[in-house]
Chains A and B, each alone.
Chain A
């Protein structure tokens, strides 16, 4: 069983999950393109290709095919690699879908690995495009409270 957690109340979007697997295996699943292709993307999505030059400054590329046939590319650069601990991706500024197949263009995503009693806690921390980082985070926070308000309004209307 995996424990879930998300938090966007602070300045950036953070998603965490604990996997019932040793850190070395989770690391392998994240860094070997052959493994990455097996799980990257929402349910129903398939990966057409994935290449990974795992070194600082190296490129990571992935092409994700949606159930509707659309292909979403992601191209990024490794900014930091600490084996079994941390990987930092930076999305390339390019025309494309705002979500950029998982890491938005110009966003910086840090994946942290921490082993705890044979399990691995993974934290995905995303800072949106550096120039727009604060705005995106502010929007995320704003949007969360907005959604809550909408949700409450919705409840109120259904029960009225």
Chain B
């Protein structure tokens, strides 16, 4: 995944309302009006958030039905998750290696009569 689309995902996820919208969409497709209800914000404000989410590829919107249902797209979220996971793995495994290496260094020091 290119770095800039990852930033796009992170930027889209930076807003708590957008995260709540995603959480709601995880339950299933829904219309803009229904989405707006629990957030106490206007439908145009929700539409704005949806545009950001759509640009980041986090959601898609139906073209056929007049109410244009919103649907969660899991891939970018999984990519963001795998980025964090990869980062963690890098360091957990580096630390494992550092641990072994430090033991080697200390064994060497002992052999050299320190």
List A residues at the B interface (Cβ < 8 Å).
Answer: 2, 4, 6, 8, 13, 15, 17, 19-21, 25-26, 29, 35, 38-43, 95-99, 102, 104-105, 122, 124, 126, 128-129, 132, 134-136, 138-140, 142-144, 146-147, 149
Contact = CB atoms under 8 A, between A and B. Distances in A.
Interface residues of B, number: 37
B45 to A, nearest CB: 20
Contacts of A147: 81
The 7 closest A-B pairs by CB, nearest first: A135-B14, A135-B10, A42-B93, A39-B97, A21-B102, A143-B81, A39-B98
A38 B101 contact: yes
Contacts, number: 112
A143 to B, nearest CB: 4
Interface in B36-91: 77, 80-81, 83-84, 86-91
A130 to B, nearest CB: 12
Given A13-B84, A104-B87, A126-B87, A132 B11 contact: yes
Contact of B10 (A26, A42, A122, A136): A136
Given A39-B94, A99-B90, A149-B26, A139 B13 contact: yes
A115 B96 CA distance: 18
A26 B91 contact: no
Interface in B1-36: 1-3, 6-7, 9-11, 13-14, 19, 26
Given A105-B3, A135-B13, A147-B81, A35 B90 contact: no
A25 B110 CA distance: 13
A154 to B, nearest CB: 13
Nearest to B13: A139
A132 B102 contact: no
B102 to A, nearest CB: 4
Determine the main DSSP class of B at the interface with A: helix
Given A124-B91, A126-B87, A143-B77, A98 B6 contact: yes
A123 to B, nearest CB: 11
Interface of B: 1-3, 6-7, 9-11, 13-14, 19, 26, 77, 80-81, 83-84, 86-103, 105-106
B87 A99 contact: yes
Given A41-B90, A43-B96, A132-B11, A98 B1 contact: yes
Nearest to B10: A135
Contacts of A136: 10
Contact of A139 (B9, B26, B92, B106): B9
Contacts of B11: 132, 135
